[in-house]
């Protein structure tokens, strides 16, 4: 499924967002303070909003989307391109998620789709699929990458392949990474671990590859409780587990800028730029 592009006022589009967002602890003080703070950051950043899963804790119920996500990040729903997290998937394989986001979530039961932003091709994947549905996604991905031979490509989903966080390296999308590497994908964004981490470009085996590797960002900082790092993985360049915030990417025709924007009062920041894989 390929969705139409959203209109932008500038020639170089912006992609901004995070994952692991709205916690629904009803009756507790500040029960979605983090999601409210990061949603306020989005109020001041134009562009397309991405989400890398776990929108409404703990089970992705309709009530949790209605009372927690909708009151915070929900005000940016019209410009959001979401992906499913494991907590979203907990209720009827994501039925409330699909109902909330509608066509923007991709085909019901699949949840993967692609779209273009300026010169970039963007791919949203579903890391919760298994067995036959998983194979269908992999076939779709190869076809989509073959049909969109752009200089710059970005993919995002929930479960990271490489992570120094609480969950560590994951196996769910390990078979997808070689396919992305084969087609010269430049950037991958994930959530799941409640922290921020940036990796240097890596090949399919997790070995440093400055010329042709994929740069991975983990941005599980959308508002859920943060967790400390565990085992620091090779090629991890920068990490923070104390700051809610969003990742802003400015997508130039042959390069990109990144900026991690923390909530007011925070001191952590990460900025940089890189050329797309030649």
Strand pairing category for 270-275 and 255-262: antiparallel
Superfamily per CATH, domain 16-275: Metallo-dependent phosphatases (3.60.21.10)
Burial (CB count <10 Å: 0-12, 13-18, 19+), residue 133: middle
Rounded CA gap, 9 and 7, in Å?
Answer: 7
Rounded CA gap, 209 and 200, in Å?
Answer: 8
Place of tokens 């894989």: 277
DSSP letters along 64-116, please? HIIIIITTTGGGGGGGEE----HHHHTTGGGHHHHHHHGGGG-STTT--EEEE
pLDDT of residue 32: 76
Q: Residue 43, Cβ neighbours under 10 Å: how many?
A: 8
Q: Residue 151, Cβ neighbours under 10 Å: how many?
A: 16
Rounded CA gap, 225 and 205, in Å?
Answer: 31
Rounded CA gap, 230 and 6, in Å?
Answer: 38
CA angle 207, 208, 213 (to 5 degrees): 100
Model-level pTM?
A: 0.94
pLDDT of residue 164: 97
pLDDT per residue of the chain (278 residues) written in tens, 0 to 9: 655 444 444 489 999 999 999 998 765 546 678 999 999 999 999 999 999 999 999 899 999 999 899 999 999 999 999 999 999 999 999 999 999 999 999 999 999 999 999 999 999 999 999 767 778 999 999 999 999 999 999 999 999 999 999 999 998 899 999 999 999 999 999 999 999 999 999 999 999 999 999 999 999 999 999 999 999 999 999 999 999 999 999 999 999 999 999 999 999 999 999 999 98
Rounded CA gap, 48 and 78, in Å?
Answer: 9
For the chain, the distance separating the N- and C-terminal CA atoms, rounded to the nearest angstrom, is 27
Domain-wise residue ranges, the chain:
16-275
């Amino acid at each position: 499924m390929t969705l139409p592009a959203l209109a932008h006022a500038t020639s170089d589009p912006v992609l901004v967002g995070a994952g692991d967002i709205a916690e629904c602890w009803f009756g507790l003080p500040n029960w979605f303070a983090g999601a409210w703070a990061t949603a306020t950051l989005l109020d001041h950043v134009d562009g397309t909003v991405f989400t890398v899963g776990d929108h409404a804790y703990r089970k992705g119920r309709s009530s949790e989307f209605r009372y927690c996500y909708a009151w915070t990040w929900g005000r940016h729903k019209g410009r959001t391109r979401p992906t499913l997290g494991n907590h979203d998937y907990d209720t009827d394989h994501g039925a409330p998620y699909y109902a909330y986001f509608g066509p923007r979530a991709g085909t019901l039961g699949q949840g993967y789709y692609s779209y273009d932003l300026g010169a970039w091709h963007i791919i949203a994947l579903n890391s919760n699929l298994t067995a036959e549905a998983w194979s269908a996604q992999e076939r779709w991905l190869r076809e989509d990458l073959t049909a969109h031979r752009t200089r710059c490509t970005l993919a995002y989903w929930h479960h990271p392949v490489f992570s120094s966080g609480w969950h560590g390296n994951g196996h769910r999308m390990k078979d997808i990474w070689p396919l992305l590497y084969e087609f010269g994908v430049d950037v991958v964004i994930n959530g799941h671990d409640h922290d921020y981490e940036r990796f240097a470009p890596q090949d399919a085996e997790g070995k440093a590859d400055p010329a042709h590797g994929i740069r991975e960002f983990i941005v599980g900082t959308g508002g859920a409780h943060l967790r400390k790092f565990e085992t620091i993985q090779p090629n991890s360049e920068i990490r923070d587990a104390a700051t809610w915030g969003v990742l802003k990417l400015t997508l130039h025709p042959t390069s990109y800028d990144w900026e991690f924007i923390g909530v007011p009062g925070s001191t952590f920041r990460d900025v940089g730029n890189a050329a797309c894989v030649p």
